[in-house]
Chain A
Amino acid sequence: MVYMEISLTSLEQAIQTLEQQLDHETELDPQKLNTKYLGKRGLFNELSKQIKDISPKDRKQAGKLLNALKNSLQTKLGNLQLHKAEDWVDLTFPGTLPPQGHLHPVSQAIEEISEIFKKIGFTRARYPEVDWDYYAFGSLNMPPDHPARDEWETFFVDLPADKKMGKIVLTPHTSNGQVREMERLKGKPPIRMINIARCYRRQQDVTHTQMFHQFEGLVVDQGINIQHLKGTLDYFAKEFYGPGTKSRIRPFHFQFTEPSFEVDFSCHLCHGTGLIGGEKCSFCKSGWHEVGGAGMVHPNVLKAGGIDPNKYTGFAFGWGVERTYTLKEGLNIDDIRLLYSEEMRFFEQF
């Protein structure tokens, strides 16, 4: 070994090591432990001998440290004897928690949604959150200035427009991924995609934030029909909200689907009846929760993606992650702005 002066730091570390060693002893006999640590040739005495290797200026400090160690060892060993004598552990003693962080509820929801769709063969994709007007609207059968665009409350970005692609927008929905996914696969189905992304709309109240998340499903292949959309929705409803949850589709209108549907999930509290013990269900009010839109992909959208609408059909759906998540039984979040707040007392609950 090297002969050298022992620094105070080394001594401190040796002290710490010794204390830890005692804490982790498996030997139960207090007497034996006492000899091992505090006996004449015990570990403490061995360590104390090193004081002669410590530089003279630090010796006083070293002495203090060793004294403190001796006291600590005596106390610990004394306690052991006490416990041994009464054979007693205070089981009501509060546990020491490790540091605990939390996954954001939106991450939890996204992960759960992704897993559910993965099981039935969907591939997760990611497409731009700042995209061309063409992908957000134009290729989705919504020419410029179409009245249907009003519903999207779109943010425009102050960057140069492109002759073909149009302006740059913050995607107001995840449907910009539809034609992009078709292009990625060079117009060759099968497509079974789930696209989850941040979206933006010019609105803000208890149920809307300027930024939110959507998940978009897109399935294109030969022989895809409305029954498959219903099957997928029912499957998701059961997986996400629990057994017995049903879905239903009702007529609606979107430019990029035909037919278009509004999707409802049955309330898991009243099971779609709107009544609990003869009283109106206070959670859903009508038996059903409206979650979002769906439809059979419009032939013009398939064409925009280079897919022959005479050969292939498909369905798509797109809903808000926050809305879908907050409908979970007993979750009880009544203001979704909390999700994007800086309120740690909120996040710590997840």
Chain B
Amino acid sequence: MNILIPHHWLLEQLKTEAVPEKIQEYLSLSGPSIERVYEHGRERVYDIEITTNRVDSMSVRGVAREAAVILKQFDIPAKLVKNSLSFAQIKPTSKQLLPLPKITDKTKLCSRMSGVILQNVQRQPTPKWMADRLQLIEANVHDAAIDITNYVTHEQGHPIHAFDYDRIMQLGGEIIITLAKKGEKFTTLDGENYVATGGEVVYKNPAGKIIDLPAIKGTSNSAVSANTKNILLWIESIDPTKIRFASMTHAIRTVAAQLAEKGIDPHLAEPTMVKAVQLYQELCNAQIASEVYDAFPNQKIPPTITLDLHKIHAYLGLVLPTKKIIDILSALECQVKITRETLRIIPPTFRRDLNIPVDIIEEIARIYGYHQLPSKLMATSIPLSQQTDTNFQAENIAKHYLSNIGWQEVYTYSLISEELAKKSNWSVASHAKLINPLTDDKTYLRRSLIPSLLQVIETNSHLPELSVFELAHVYHPQNHGLPKEVLHLSLASNKSFPKVKGDLISLLKKFHISNVTVKPNLNEDAGFIKVDDIRIGQLKVIDKITIIEIIFTQLLPLMKTHPHYQPLPKTASVIEQLTFTLPTKTFIGPIITDISELSPKIKTVLLKGVYQQNYTLTIEYWDPQKNLTNENVRPLRKRIVKVIEKTYQAKLVGKLE
């Protein structure tokens, strides 16, 4: 949460000569981060980020308190102005006292409830000094009777609410704190209607009507209106989880709710209310028409935290003098006792974030100054255990190789539209879906990268040639548990099919994987890619675009970092060409395989060229023991021709010797 604080408002709570630039620099190093200081007329305004655990700093006074401790560490004199605001200062000033409404807490979720009645509140415009400050903190300006509550909340840190006293009395003169039932209705002071989901802490009148959504927003039937003359000024401390529940459920994210859900120190009720009463007296000529009502049934006693000195040193990596440690903690208003090497610390009530020893170590370290700690690398042992199911090096090699031979790597979104989901081989319904997508085009978790890659090619259809690839996970939902994440390497290109397939073969060769075959499906320009008998992915040609989907994890066990060296041949091979006329739509792959497997003496079979239905194959015969002669080759050649002519209804072009 960010808070805006004008410099001169801060100086009302903090005595210091420090200039805004220094306050910004030093507070950011040791306390809340002052993201910027901007000028507004003659005033400088701090824009400060307060972390969620430090709701005690979400006020002018809260920041002043931090600044007083931090600036002194940088040898800049600074002092928090003493706060003497106490309930003892509130004494009835009206001749005619008014009765307080009856208060009944059925929930036992309130740790403190405080109130006072103000009589004859004159409705005055907000004075310029206050209106200016409210504008600087980007708050709306109404009139004094309303703005006082926002002003003191910002200054002191506790939300405070003004009820129309007379309306509360007309509604039955009782505030019953209870849990809302499902279906109950209420209207907030800005006229919005809500229906309770049940379980929200609400105020009701004896007739069971909701008359306030406490600590979040007032309701229209009890809040101050234009005709209000008497005000019941009210502060409550309710279980923060209940406030958060109601605020999130109804999406009513007021400043009050955001403060209250983080657990504000109920002790802040006192200065906040006293300051408000003073302002009502001063600006609205209000009279105090009751004693202060103050019920504080659940006083939370801060914990005693035990911390060994050696633990502080272990976190900081150096030994701080004990006196320094105690000085820092005392400056932060902690009570500290030391026995031998152990500190016993009781934090102040407003520091509800301090509960365990490391919380205290953080306080010591940041006030001492992180910037004062040396910087060094650890000298501890290096872990040797690695994950076994990944191979980042292989991923890098694949990516580099493909990009070096002309492929562009892309990163497309893992979240896809229904339209893209439809274009995969999976039904839309079989995809995992987001419950709360941000945009329609990113709703499903993809099961294939291909539709995304095809979209890239389509978007770039003006380019004469484009080859793209991506290495990313797909997500397959399971019957139980998490979706299965599978790493895919997918490629799409509008280059000619043999070129794309050649790139794939050469990529696999990079990992010393050979024996790659494609088994075509019937009636489709698609097939499975296999290495020996292991299926590693699939391949398809759609509208002259070749797409390849490799399941990268399948490839990992097949990869080798080095070849198995074959001794260099000592004998010469015989190379010749055979041309066959094949019937149309004959797959050439199986023919090459069949020839290769006919004899160990057939070393390689390559397709040399195709002219119409004539396929010319270059065949290399080789025997590691001796140089082959034409006599040796003749029977092999005969067998090749016989087998191929028979199996594939092929015809050799030319005749055998």
Flag if B411 contacts A104 (CB, 8 Å).
Answer: yes
- Give bound CA distance, A126 to B38, whole Å: 43
Report the nearest A residue to B487, measured CB to CB: A126
- A210-238 at interface with B (beta carbon < 8 Å): 210-211, 219, 221-228, 230-235
Q: Of B358, B408, B577, B609, which contacts A347 at CB under 8 A?
A: B408
Flag if B412 contacts A340 (CB, 8 Å).
Answer: yes
Chain A 131-147 near chain B by CB (<8 Å), digits 1 or 0: 11000000000000101
- B contact residues around A106 at 8 Å (CB): 411
- Let me know if A19 is at the binding interface, CB within 8 A: no
Give the interface segment out of B77-85, B229-237, B460-468, B585-593.
B460-468
- A contact residues around B385 at 8 Å (CB): 123, 184-185
Chain B 616-657 near chain A by CB (<8 Å), digits 1 or 0: 100000000000001000000100000000000000111111
Q: Smallest Cβ distance from A228 to chain B, in angstroms?
A: 4
Q: Smallest Cβ distance from B492 to chain A, in angstroms?
A: 12
Q: Smallest Cβ distance from A113 to chain B, in angstroms?
A: 12
- A330-344 at interface with B (beta carbon < 8 Å): 339-340, 342, 344
- B contact residues around A147 at 8 Å (CB): 52, 244, 261-262
- Let me know if A92 is at the binding interface, CB within 8 A: no
Report the nearest A residue to B495, measured CB to CB: A99
- A contact residues around B374 at 8 Å (CB): 227, 230
- Let me know if A183 is at the binding interface, CB within 8 A: no
Flag if A227 contacts B373 (CB, 8 Å).
Answer: yes
Chain B 427-442 near chain A by CB (<8 Å), digits 1 or 0: 0000011111111001
Flag if B432 contacts A3 (CB, 8 Å).
Answer: no
- Let me know if A191 is at the binding interface, CB within 8 A: yes
Flag if A202 contacts B485 (CB, 8 Å).
Answer: no
- Give bound CA distance, A101 to B578, whole Å: 38
- Let me know if B426 is at the binding interface, CB within 8 A: no
Flag if A101 contacts B655 (CB, 8 Å).
Answer: no
Give the interface segment out of B92-100, B292-300, B359-367.
B359-367
Give the interface segment out of B323-331, B474-482, B510-518, B525-533.
B474-482
Flag if A344 contacts B413 (CB, 8 Å).
Answer: no
Flag if B413 contacts A2 (CB, 8 Å).
Answer: no
Flag if B655 contacts A3 (CB, 8 Å).
Answer: yes
- Let me know if A273 is at the binding interface, CB within 8 A: no
Flag if A121 contacts B413 (CB, 8 Å).
Answer: no
- B contact residues around A29 at 8 Å (CB): none
Flag if B438 contacts A202 (CB, 8 Å).
Answer: yes
Flag if A130 contacts B657 (CB, 8 Å).
Answer: no
- Give bound CA distance, A7 to B377, whole Å: 72
- A1-51 at interface with B (beta carbon < 8 Å): 1-5, 7-10, 12-13
Report the nearest A residue to B615, measured CB to CB: A9
- Let me know if A158 is at the binding interface, CB within 8 A: yes
**Contact status of A342 and B29, CB under 8 A, knowing A155-B437, A221-B381:** no
- Let me know if A244 is at the binding interface, CB within 8 A: no
Q: Smallest Cβ distance from B370 to chain A, in angstroms?
A: 5
Flag if B485 contacts A342 (CB, 8 Å).
Answer: no
- Give bound CA distance, A204 to B400, whole Å: 30
- A contact residues around B162 at 8 Å (CB): none
Chain B 242-261 near chain A by CB (<8 Å), digits 1 or 0: 00110010000000000001
- Let me know if A282 is at the binding interface, CB within 8 A: no
- A contact residues around B280 at 8 Å (CB): none
- A contact residues around B655 at 8 Å (CB): 3-4
Q: Of B262, B371, B459, B482, which contacts A128 at CB under 8 A?
A: B482
- B contact residues around A68 at 8 Å (CB): none
- A contact residues around B637 at 8 Å (CB): 2
Flag if A7 contacts B410 (CB, 8 Å).
Answer: no
- Let me know if A239 is at the binding interface, CB within 8 A: no
Flag if B460 contacts A2 (CB, 8 Å).
Answer: no
- B contact residues around A223 at 8 Å (CB): 314, 380
- Let me know if A276 is at the binding interface, CB within 8 A: no
Flag if A228 contacts B403 (CB, 8 Å).
Answer: no
- Number of residue pairs spanning A and B whose beta carbons lie under 8 angstroms apart: 275
Flag if B477 contacts A226 (CB, 8 Å).
Answer: no
Chain B 138-170 near chain A by CB (<8 Å), digits 1 or 0: 000000000000000000000000000000000
- Let me know if B74 is at the binding interface, CB within 8 A: no
Report the nearest A residue to B380, measured CB to CB: A221
Q: How many residues of A contact B (CB 8 A)?
A: 98
- Let me know if A52 is at the binding interface, CB within 8 A: no
- Give bound CA distance, A193 to B374, whole Å: 23
- A contact residues around B477 at 8 Å (CB): 159
- Let me know if A318 is at the binding interface, CB within 8 A: no
- B contact residues around A3 at 8 Å (CB): 654-655, 657
Interface of A is mostly: mixed
Q: Of B365, B432, B576, which contacts A1 at CB under 8 A?
A: B576
- B382-397 at interface with A (beta carbon < 8 Å): 382-383, 385-387, 390, 392, 396
- Let me know if B582 is at the binding interface, CB within 8 A: no
Chain B 500-512 near chain A by CB (<8 Å), digits 1 or 0: 0000000000000
- Give bound CA distance, A222 to B379, whole Å: 11
- A contact residues around B432 at 8 Å (CB): 130, 157-159
Flag if B609 contacts A9 (CB, 8 Å).
Answer: yes
- Let me know if A305 is at the binding interface, CB within 8 A: no
Flag if A100 contacts B380 (CB, 8 Å).
Answer: no
**Contact-residue size bin, chain B (C-beta under 8 Å from the other chain):** 35 or more
Q: Of A5, A101, A104, A261, which contacts B654 at CB under 8 A?
A: A5
Flag if A184 contacts B387 (CB, 8 Å).
Answer: yes
- Let me know if B568 is at the binding interface, CB within 8 A: no
**Contact status of A342 and B459, CB under 8 A, knowing A2-B657, A210-B413:** yes
- Let me know if A248 is at the binding interface, CB within 8 A: yes
Flag if A4 contacts B467 (CB, 8 Å).
Answer: no
**Contact status of A103 and B483, CB under 8 A, knowing A4-B653, A202-B438, A223-B314:** no
- Let me know if B53 is at the binding interface, CB within 8 A: yes
- Give bound CA distance, A2 to B365, whole Å: 89
- Give bound CA distance, A323 to B409, whole Å: 20
Flag if A102 contacts B390 (CB, 8 Å).
Answer: no
Report the nearest B residue to A191, measured CB to CB: B383
- Let me know if B540 is at the binding interface, CB within 8 A: no
- B contact residues around A251 at 8 Å (CB): 30-33, 362, 366, 370
- Give bound CA distance, A253 to B49, whole Å: 11
Flag if A298 contacts B358 (CB, 8 Å).
Answer: yes
Residue of A158, A160, A231 with most chain B CB atoms under a 10 A cut-off = A158
- A contact residues around B315 at 8 Å (CB): 225-226, 259, 296, 313
- B contact residues around A173 at 8 Å (CB): none
- B contact residues around A347 at 8 Å (CB): 408-410
- A contact residues around B135 at 8 Å (CB): none
Q: Of A1, A9, A191, which contacts B579 at CB under 8 A?
A: A9
Query: Which of A's residues lie within 8 Å of B, judged by CB?
Result: 1-5, 7-10, 12-13, 98-104, 106-107, 111, 114, 120-121, 123-126, 128-132, 145, 147-148, 150-151, 155-160, 162, 168, 170, 184-185, 189-193, 198, 200, 202-204, 210-211, 219, 221-228, 230-235, 247-253, 258-262, 296, 298-299, 313, 339-340, 342, 344, 347-348
10 tightest A-B CB contacts, nearest first: A4-B654, A99-B406, A253-B51, A9-B611, A259-B362, A121-B382, A225-B317, A230-B375, A101-B403, A227-B317
Show 28 A/B contacts (Cβ-Cβ < 8 Å), sorted by A.
Answer: A2-B576, A3-B657, A7-B614, A10-B609, A101-B408, A124-B392, A129-B485, A130-B475, A131-B482, A147-B244, A148-B52, A156-B435, A160-B480, A184-B387, A191-B383, A204-B438, A225-B316, A225-B317, A226-B317, A228-B377, A248-B370, A248-B371, A249-B370, A250-B28, A253-B52, A344-B408, A344-B463, A347-B410
- Other than the given A193-B383, A259-B366, 14 more pairs (CB < 8 A) read A1-B576, A4-B655, A123-B387, A131-B482, A148-B53, A190-B382, A221-B378, A226-B316, A227-B375, A235-B377, A253-B51, A258-B362, A339-B411, A340-B413
